[in-house]
Amino acid sequence: MRRQLVVELRRKGITDEKVLDAIGRIPRHLFIDDSAFHVHAYEDKAFPIACGQTISQPYTVAFQTQLLGLRPGDKVLEIGTGSGYQTAVLALLGVKVYSIERHRPLYLETRTRLERMGYKATLTHGDGYLGWPQFAPFDKVLVTCGAPFIPDALQAQLRTGGRLVIPVGEGSAQEMIAVDRSGPESFERQSFGAFRFVPMLADRAR
C-alpha cells in the first residue's frame, strides 16, 4: 500500500526521490490513533487525530517537504507537530528537527510515539507564532497549519540563505508561500498554489 501511495504521489507531480523514499518507508497507519482509519492510511487523504486536528494529506507533506529543498544536516523548525508524521519524514531525511505543537495532549502523545518508533526530534509544547528563539537560526522553517499572516518571528529566525514554507490565508483555502531570506534584510516570496489546512491558532502575537 505504501508503494502504491508513492506511485500516486509521483503521478501527482512529486519528483524528489528522497522525499518519495521516506514516504515509502514510514508506517503512516501508526500515526493515526483511530484504528478504523488504518485501512485508509495509505490513501492520499487527511484524517482526524486528537484535539480536533488532522494528519496532513501525504501529497501536502511531500509537496511542502520538497519545497524546503533540504540538505543533510539542515536545522529545521516545524510549526504544528500534530501526529508527528511530517516530523518523521524530516527526521528520516537526515535533518535536525525542532517541532512545536500548541495542543498539550497532542504534544505528549506524539513525543511518546516518535520516541518509541525511534525518530529523533526535539519537541515542545508552545506557540508557533513565536518560533523557538533558543535554537535559532534555522536553515528551514515549515508551518503545517494555515496562518492568517507570515509571523515576523519565523522570518527573523531564518538563517540568511534559508527558506520558510508557510500556507497563508484564513477560511477554507490557503496559498502555499515560500519565503527566501536572500540577505539579512531581504525576503523574497513565491506562491505555489492553493492547499487546505487546519488553522494556526492564536496567540497571534506578532
Which residue, 61, 74, 51, 55, is CA-closest to 12?
Answer: 61
C-alpha cell at 68: 524546503
From the list 22, 26, 47, 103, which residue makes contact with ligand SAH (rule: CB under 6 A)?
103
| Other residues' Cβ atoms within 10 Å of the Cβ of residue 151 | 24
- Does residue 131 belong to the site contacting ligand SAH (CB under 6 A)? no
Contact between 157 and 100 (Cβ < 8 Å)? no
CA distances from 19 to 6, 155, 158 (A): 10, 25, 22
Q: Does 106 contact ligand SAH by CB under 6 A?
A: yes
- 191 annotated active-site: no
Q: Break the chain down into helix, strand, coil percent, rounded to 5.
A: 35, 30, 35
Q: What's the gap between Cα 38 and its chain centre?
A: 21
Beta bridge partners of 168: 147, 175
Whether the Cβ atoms of residue 90 and residue 78 lie closer than 8 Å to each other? yes
Q: Which of 23, 145, 164, 166 binds ligand SAH (CB under 6 A)?
A: 145
Should residue 82 be labelled a site residue for ligand SAH when binding is judged by CB under 6 A? yes
Is 198 near ligand SAH (CB under 6 A)? yes
Stretch that binds ligand SAH, among 21-29, 52-60, 133-141, 171-179 (CB under 6 A): 52-60
Nearest-approach distance from CB 12 to ligand SAH, in angstroms: 17
Site for ligand SAH contains 26 (CB under 6 A)? no
Looking at the Cβ atoms of 54 and 66, the one nearer to ligand SAH is 54
Choices 6-14, 16-24, 48-56, 182-190; region in contact with ligand SAH by CB under 6 A: 48-56
Q: Which residues bind ligand SAH (CB under 6 A)?
A: 53-56, 79-80, 82-83, 85-86, 100-103, 106, 127-129, 144-145, 198, 200-201
* Active site (catalytic) residues: 56
